Amino acid sequence: MSERLQPGDTAPAFTLPDADGNEVSLADRKGRKVIVYFYPAALTPGCTKQACDFTDNLDLLAAAGYDVIGVSPDKPEKLAAFREKENLRITLVGDPSKEVLTAYGAFGEKKLYGKTVTGVIRSTVVVDEEGRVERALYNVKATGHVAKIIKDLGV
């Protein structure tokens, strides 16, 4: 089980391919706040709801100085299909090796329908302008989560 991040921790650096195969780095966002959220799989009901919620609120979040990056173990081709099918405007990146998911504490044992399984733990980490963890939320629900973040951040 990977360690969960705590407020004040330095957010683990990452460079991952986006839906178009271009590299996206957390370091490129220095000076802006970033909401990095981790989800199990593109094109699934809960993950679609969450991605659409972030897209629907992207202008509001951007106006408050936040970028949004969604991370899953999917390959760029699947991310592109997800983006096109759902008209997503958020940045989606793939982590097939699960190294970044693990570094953020978003991959490990979780309960699924009463059984313990290993997989992606739906999580959201808010990173400040200096690259430090402002908030780290684990085992979040897909539905209603974006509204809660907006409220908690005072956006």
The predicted-structure confidence for 34-91, as pLDDT tens digits, reads as follows 999 999 999 999 999 999 999 999 999 999 999 999 999 999 999 999 999 999 999 9
- DSSP codes, 56-83: HTHHHHHHTTEEEEEEES--HHHHHHHH
Q: 3-state DSSP call for residue 9?
A: coil
pLDDT recorded at residue 1: 45
Structure confidence at residue 3 as a pLDDT band (50, 70, 90): confident
Structure confidence at residue 92 as a pLDDT band (50, 70, 90): very high
Q: Are 36 and 127 in contact (CB under 8 A)?
A: yes
CA atoms within 13 A on the CB side of 21: 1
Active centre residues (catalytic): 47
